[in-house]
Chain A
Amino acid sequence: MKTVLPFFAVVILVLFPLFGVTVAHQTEIFFGVIVPYAAMAIFVVGFLYRVAKWGKSPVPFCIPTTCGQQKSLPWIKQDKLENPSTTMQVVGRMLLEVLVFRSLFRNMKTEMKEGKAVYGSEKLLWLAGLAFHWSFLFIFVRHYRFFVQDLPSVIQMMEGVDSFFQIGAPLFYMTDAVILGAVTFLLIRRVYLPQIRYISLAADFFPLFLILAIAISGILMRYFFKVHIVAVKQLALGLVSLNPIIPEGIGAIFYVHLFLICVLLMYFPFSKLMHMGGVFLSPTRNMANNSRIVRYINPWNYPVHVHTYEEYENDFRDKMKKAGLPVEKE
């Protein structure tokens, strides 16, 4: 159920704009203008709201995960990236985490072999995750050619690298194949491995199916069912210059692609995809392990009323004397 339901949800999300623009006409304004603006607004406002809400949550303890030698005596070598004690070292560790998924690289697999638990490294998830995220970033940045008049040379260079093999026309992008392969792996992993299937929820499958559908619709649009690409850019530029237009004859598959992306944007702030912002707000990653150098004060320490012994004695001195108990002040 938790696999089938998200799958059919995505199927319906594909059929909705497909029928919208092919059967019931005049819905292009809805799918091409209203939904994209709404999606953009929900994405930006939702993202800011979620991060601000996290920012309001106090972190009671200094809890960075320590994966190496902490700062100690001068002749003991500190592992600065695995156990950072300064802000710069935290930045270094965070960069490793965000850019190359350092902590996932440590992923281990436990197996029973001859009655013993054996621990081995498990790099496939790390590799597939990295391939997926980086190809997604490349594809995302590449799409800027629809949103600016003069494409920066950096993005043109990225496109050049991506289409380096010059296969076919329009040129084949490597990232298209990589993202399909990686998402398929991540999906199969959740279905095939019993432990992972057990802990997977509909909210884990839905983004995978959605992103897979976005990638497939994009690939179909580029290589197979071509759309009127100049009109697509006119629509995109119209949206971002706040002067929306609906050019004629773009092709239904474009609206499917666009609608799925809008759904992704709208779903983003409410979902696990918020790890994009959340990774920077993880106390286990963004804190320096310096609690022995700088005292960490719990921000929700309540101003507790303290009743000292001196006050206690003042309250009960007479009674204590009568009972023969020793007092500090006579």
Chain B
Amino acid sequence: MYNSGKIIAGLVVFFFLATLPFLLNFGKANAKIEPSIDTPEINAMPKKHCVEPKAFMRSEHMQLLNNWRDQVVRNGNRIYVGSDGNEYTISLQNTCMKCHSNKKKFCDKCHNYMAVKPYCWGCHIAPKEKEA
């Protein structure tokens, strides 16, 4: 090989970069991530339910919250009718966080895992942590 020093150095850099995720995770265990719904408020519910079904909330909660914010801030609408027909007050602190009073073990659980930093708490104040 001609110029083998430079080419091999370049290929070593390529190999290092291409396999970096493998090197960084070598021998690390894959943690199971499950947000906790173990709070006094949720435990006290006769039938545990959120404003929408679990699968919907899991994938669409960010969009729902974004729509809620626009509804309240721009349209002054504080009533949300869920797909089950129930009416809910649109409020992050008084509706969502009333039941999910364990931000650290609920919101942060997945957000930290996914390295997502939602800007909810730039304006809202996170409620005091409660656990059953």
Contact = CB atoms under 8 A, between A and B. Distances in A.
Interface of A: 43-44, 47-48, 51-52, 55-59, 144-145, 147-151, 156, 166, 168-170, 226-230, 233-234, 237-238, 240-243, 245, 249, 277, 280-281, 299
B7 interface: yes
B119 interface: yes
Contact of A229 (B10, B22, B63, B114): B114
Contacts of B63: 168-170
A111 to B, nearest CB: 41
A24 to B, nearest CB: 23
29 contacts: A44-B15, A48-B11, A51-B11, A52-B7, A55-B1, A56-B2, A59-B2, A145-B114, A147-B25, A148-B24, A148-B25, A166-B119, A169-B62, A170-B62, A170-B116, A226-B60, A228-B58, A229-B110, A230-B33, A230-B113, A230-B114, A233-B113, A234-B32, A234-B33, A237-B28, A240-B21, A240-B24, A241-B22, A242-B26
Contacts of B24: 147-148, 240
B88 interface: no
Given A233-B114, A280-B10, A58 B2 contact: yes
Contacts of A147: 21, 24-25
B30 interface: yes
A166 B117 CA distance: 12
A55 B10 CA distance: 11
Interface residues of B, number: 38
A169 B65 contact: yes
Interface string B4-26: 10010011001100110110111
Most buried by B among A147, A150, A234, A240: A240
Contact of B30 (A48, A51, A243): A243
A289 B116 CA distance: 50
Contacts of A170: 62-63, 116
A157 to B, nearest CB: 11
Contact of B28 (A47, A149, A281): A149
Interface string B88-132: 000000000000000000000010011111110000000000000
Nearest to B66: A169
Given A228-B59, A230-B33, A299-B2, A48 B25 contact: no
A241 B15 CA distance: 17
B113 to A, nearest CB: 6
Contacts of A249: 55
Given A48-B11, A55-B4, A234 B19 contact: no
Contacts of B46: none
Contacts of B25: 147-149, 237, 240-241
Contacts of A55: 1-4, 7
Contacts of B114: 145, 229-230, 233
Contacts of B62: 169-170
B18 A44 contact: yes
A43 B19 CA distance: 11
B85 interface: no
Nearest to A168: B66
Contacts of B27: 241
B115 A241 contact: no
Nearest to B26: A241
Contact of A237 (B7, B19, B30): B30
Nearest to A155: B115
Contact of B1 (A52, A226, A230, A280): A52
B72 to A, nearest CB: 15
Contacts of A168: 63, 66
A249 B59 CA distance: 11
A156 B10 contact: no
Nearest to A231: B33
B22 A227 contact: no
